[in-house]
Amino acid sequence: MGKITNIGILTSGGDSPGMNAAIRAVVRAGIYHGFKVFGIRHGYNGMIYNQIKELKSHDVANTIQRGGTFLKTARSKEFMTPEGMEIAYNNLKLNKIDALVIIGGDGSFRGALEFSNKYDIPCIGIPGTIDNDIFGTDDTIGYDTAINTVIEAVDKIRDTASSHERLFFIEVMGRDAGFIALRAGIACGAEAILIPEVETPIETLKEHLENGFKRKKSSNIILVAEGEKAGGAFEIAKAVEKDFKDYSVRVTVLGHIQRGGSPSAYDRFLASRLGVAAVEALMEDQRSIMVGTQNQQVVYVPFSKSVKAHKPIDPKLLELIEILNV
Ligand code: ATP
């Protein structure tokens, strides 16, 4: 591998609030350390279709507070083929790009790992996804903002739920992981959470609700991660409803509002820190790693680990929900 002079940066997979702050940090840290930084639009597709343009410091002005990603993002089927990867590599060479920073989820890192195994391009990943489901980092960029969005919505639903004495099932994002439901559930005082990692028999849930009714709770909020095995909030509500005829049951699916919005202070801070760390990792000749944080410290985690290992749910946090609903 020769000396790096030009760094390419892209956002890939699902967008998350704070991606812009991370792009800004990579651009500015790159320039600070004497590199040129090139923005690649539409994820890996931008490498295939040569949508590559140099970014100067002023190009990232006024972006730290904006949600989404100004580079746009995409899922690229073509990049998953050897032909697509070869075109992508040739376009990087054409633009004299000799290193890549990829902001995205574990799928995007899997792509980066394959690419850097095949071609001599060091790749550094920055974890950007609202799901927080990437092994090796305590937090991912966008997770904190998404949770804040969820609790704001749930607080509003709680007002109407308690006025009408209703039982609400609120579906939040998390196809494969319950991190949003878990932390937001604790933060908004949910009566229960249902997540893909833990099987909750419907009878257990009914017993739990029964106890709540006996204690004359005026409202019940159950957060359901979309990947919950019983089939999502509507299915679970249907199964519960027939045994609680006196109680009116409602379902709300929060959907894509969880992806948007101005990033929280924490996500801006994390994105800024990891963006700078990604450039420093390249200067230290790192390749095929993700920069993340563990116990407040920046860490380097090999892609081979971050894409394979499963990030576990802390069982202590599940217990917390139970304790707080005594
Ligand atoms: P999110 O967690 O928000 O869904 P993600 O990064 O996991 O984000 P994916 O759709 O899984 O999102 O992956 C993003 C892109 O990464 C894919 O569309 C594809 O272009 C690329 N990619 C994923 N896996 C591979 C692979 N094995 N080989 C090449 N490219 C891949």
Q: Say how far apart CA 203 and CA 73 lie, in whole Å.
A: 42
DSSP letter string, 82-104? HHHHHHHHHHHHHTT--EEEEEE
Written as six digits, the tokens of 13 are: 């997979």
Of all atoms in ligand 1, which is nearest to the CA of residue 133? 2
List of residues 6+ apart from 206 with CB closer than 8 A: 240, 243, 244
Question: Which of these is catalytic: 15, 131, 144, 267?
Answer: 131
SS3 228: coil
The answer to whether 221 touches 194, Cβ cutoff 8 Å, is no
Q: pLDDT tens digits for the chain (326 residues)?
A: 568 999 999 999 999 999 999 999 999 999 999 999 999 999 999 999 999 999 999 999 999 999 999 999 999 999 999 999 999 999 999 999 999 999 999 999 999 999 999 999 999 999 999 999 999 999 999 999 999 999 999 999 999 998 888 899 999 999 889 999 999 999 999 999 999 999 888 888 888 888 877 777 778 899 999 988 888 899 999 989 888 877 789 999 999 999 999 999 999 999 999 999 999 999 999 999 999 999 999 999 999 999 999 999 999 999 999 899 88
**In this structure, are strands 123-127 and 52-55 parallel, antiparallel, or unpaired?**
unpaired
Q: Which strands make up the sheet holding 192-194, listed edge to edge?
A: 192-194, 220-225, 166-172, 248-253
Local structure of residue 64 (DSSP, 8 states): T
Q: What is the pLDDT of residues 194-252, one digit of tens each?
A: 999 998 888 888 888 888 777 777 788 999 999 888 888 999 999 898 888 777 899 99
Residue spans per domain, the chain: 6-142+263-306, 143-259
Which CATH number among 3.40.50.460, 3.40.50.12780, 1.10.287.310, 3.40.980.10 corresponds to the domain 143-259? 3.40.50.460
Architecture of domain 6-142+263-306: 3-Layer(aba) Sandwich (3.40)
Rounded to the nearest angstrom, the distance between the alpha carbon of 202 and the centre of ligand 1 is: 34
Residue 131 annotated among the catalytic residues of the structure: yes
* Spatial separation of the C-alpha atoms in residues 71 and 66, rounded to whole Å: 12
Both tokens of 77, joined, read 């089927």
Mutation pick for ligand 1 pocket among 19, 110, 113, 115 (CB with most ligand atoms within 8 Å): 110
Q: Evaluate whether 6-142+263-306 and 143-259 have a shared fold.
A: yes
Q: Quote the ligand 1 centre to 15 CA distance (angstroms).
A: 12
CA 267 to centroid of ligand 1, rounded, Å: 22
Q: What pTM was estimated for this model as a whole? A: 0.96
Residue ID of nearest Cα to ligand 1 atom 28:
111
pLDDT of residue 247: 78
Q: Which residues contact 70 (CB under 8 A, 6 or more apart)?
A: 20, 23, 63
Q: Could you give the CA distance from residue 298 to residue 136 in angstroms, rounded to a whole number?
A: 11
Residue 47 is predicted with a pLDDT of 98
Pocket test for ligand 1, best of 19, 108, 145 (most atoms within 8 A of CB): 108
Give the strand pairing for 166-172 and 99-104: unpaired
- List pocket residues of ligand 1, CB cut-off 6 Å: 12-14, 44, 75-76, 79-80, 104-108, 110-111, 114, 129, 131
Determine the Cα–Cα distance for residues 90 and 299; give it in Å rounded to an integer: 31
- Note the pLDDT of residue 214: 75
Which residue type, as a one-letter code, is found at position 91? Answer: N
pLDDT (0 to 100) of residue 2: 63
pLDDT in tens, 4-37: 999 999 999 999 999 999 999 999 999 999 999 9
127 Cα to the center of ligand 1, angstroms = 12
Q: What angle do CA 282, 3, 9 make, to 5 degrees?
A: 45
Cα(108) to centroid(ligand 1), Å? 4
